[in-house]
Amino acid sequence: MDRLVAIGDIHGCLHTLKDLLRMVSYSSQTDTLVFVGDYIDRGRFSCEVVNMLMKLQQQLGKDKVVCLRGNHEQMAIDAYRHGEYPLWYRNGGRFTEFSFEQNGEDIGNAISWFETLPLVYDTPEIIFCHAGLTYPLLKDNSPDDLLWGRDWIATDTEEREKQVVFGHTPSKTGRAYTVDTGDICIDAACVYGGRLCALVIQDDGNSLCMYVKKNEEDDF
């Protein structure tokens, strides 16, 4: 049975990601992976996570491994292309630089990859993006809304044009949560000691969330 497996914010937690793929019994033959962004920063293995995702895309294709851009990838782009290092460093960017240095790799290759990543994966039933939709119609949302929007979660109850699956605003309980608009946040706060979440959607539309705890190997 074909499945779509959407995975929340990883933030350099390589071993936890591998645990989660084992937990969901990921099959490259039948499953489509959708990563909602924030692969880097704060965690220990940002370089390795990026390399893993890039390799999966190269082996299986971007239609089977969908990698969306998160605000942390955008901060890295803005730092390297426009010198906006203070914001990135305040949000864990130095850990990412250290990870690439430890591996003897040029982070510039990752920055170039980040720049190719789309902001949205739009399916017939679900819109996937990093921060959710600030406004009900996808076309009314700016790139900043898709990468950074958060205030709408506390105030908005209007349904979006489709259900939205997003990350960016970590759960306080270590579980995915549904907001008042009916949309689902799958950032289960892994890097903060929570869990990494996969929303597994079957081809009949049924879905469930699966979780793994942060792997101790991902701690500094």
Domain boundaries of the chain, sorted by first residue: 3-218
Q: What is the Cα–Cα distance from 43 to 10, expressed in whole angstroms?
A: 8
Residues belonging to the chain = 220
3-state secondary structure (DSSP) of residue 59: helix
Residues designated catalytic: 72
Q: What is the pLDDT of residues 51-99, one digit of tens each?
A: 999 999 999 999 999 999 999 999 999 999 999 999 999 999 999 999 9
What is the per-residue pLDDT for 1? 67
What is the per-residue pLDDT for 220? 85
- C-alpha distances (whole Å) from 174 to each of 27, 115, 177 are 25, 30, 9
Strand order in the sheet with 31-35: 65-67, 31-35, 3-7, 195-202, 207-213
CATH superfamily entry for domain 3-218: Metallo-dependent phosphatases (3.60.21.10)
